[in-house]
Amino acid sequence: MQIKRENFRMVGKLGVIVLGMFCFGYALVPIYKAICEMTGINVLALGDRQIPGATPKLPANTQVDLTRTITVEFDANSRGPWHFKPAQSSLQVHPGELTTVMYEFQNVQNRTMSAQAIPSYAPAQAGAHFNKLECFCFSQYTLAPGEKKQWPVAFVIDPKLSKDVSTITLSYTFFEVGGKTPAAPQASNGVVLNVATIAPQQAAGI
């Protein structure tokens, strides 16, 4: 019987200890916040207080170079009977800054078509530093007669871009996939150019 009573006492003591630890852990958060507010060592606690002129701020993106501004010009070339243009002709952005521009397209034909866009850059050295996070040029699209589409281009210019470059032109050529081969272009001297030779050269320069 005596051992049983001692066991009950031990269980009771352990229960009191567990309850005390639980209450201490529950009260630890408000206690910690009160101490931080009094000592001023917690920036978050200070920001929560109603201090005139004090507003919480998100940490700035240190990768954005605010000391530089680059003009990005947007160009669109259509090789076919459709409308294709950027929603705005140019933007001024900081290197490292995420920017989005919209391009508009409409199939004005009376038939369904499939098309794709190919980007190019000027100056050419900017292409390696022009990082597109979202672009319609990654896919082919099928549009019904008269159908309109708007596609975003989200990009970031690498801050490592040479400081000599202050203007970048992003140009898209939109062409029909599986469509009729256009007539061979003629040079000013009347010589017919070989389309089969031009196409690989254009593709290599993109």
Q: What is the mean pLDDT of residues 157-182?
A: 82
Average the pLDDT over 46-66 and give the result: 52
- Classify residue 174 by burial, with Cβ atoms within 10 Å: 0-12, 13-18, 19+: buried
CA separation, residue 198 to residues 6, 83, 169, 184, 187 (Å):
97, 24, 22, 10, 12
Output b/e per residue, 48-71; b: 16+ Cβ within 10 A: eeeeeeeeeeeeeeeebbeebebe
Checking if the pLDDT of 115 tops 60, the result is yes
Q: Which residue has the higher pLDDT, 168 or 183?
A: 168
Joined tokens for residue 177: 């996939």
**pLDDT (0 to 100) of residue 93:** 94
Question: By mean pLDDT, which of 53-67, 111-125, 133-147, 181-195 is the weakest?
Answer: 181-195
Tell me the C-alpha distance between 102 and 141, whole Å: 16
Percent pLDDT > 90 in the chain is: 29
- pLDDT for the residue numbered 182: 38
What's the whole-number average pLDDT of the chain?
A: 73
Q: How far apart are CA 194 and CA 8, in angstroms?
A: 100
Mean pLDDT of 122-133: 92
Averaged pLDDT, 169-181: 76
Q: What is the pLDDT of residues 1-14, one digit of tens each?
A: 667 677 777 777 77
* pTM of the entire predicted model: 0.54
What pLDDT is attached to residue 121? Answer: 92
Per-residue confidence band for 62, with pLDDT thresholds at 50, 70 and 90: low
pLDDT at site 181: 37
Q: Print burial letters for 133-171: b (CB count within 10 Å at least 16), e (below 16).
A: eebbbeeebebeeeeeeebebebbbebebeeeeeebebb
- Of 169, 174, 154, 176, the C-alpha closest to 105 is 174
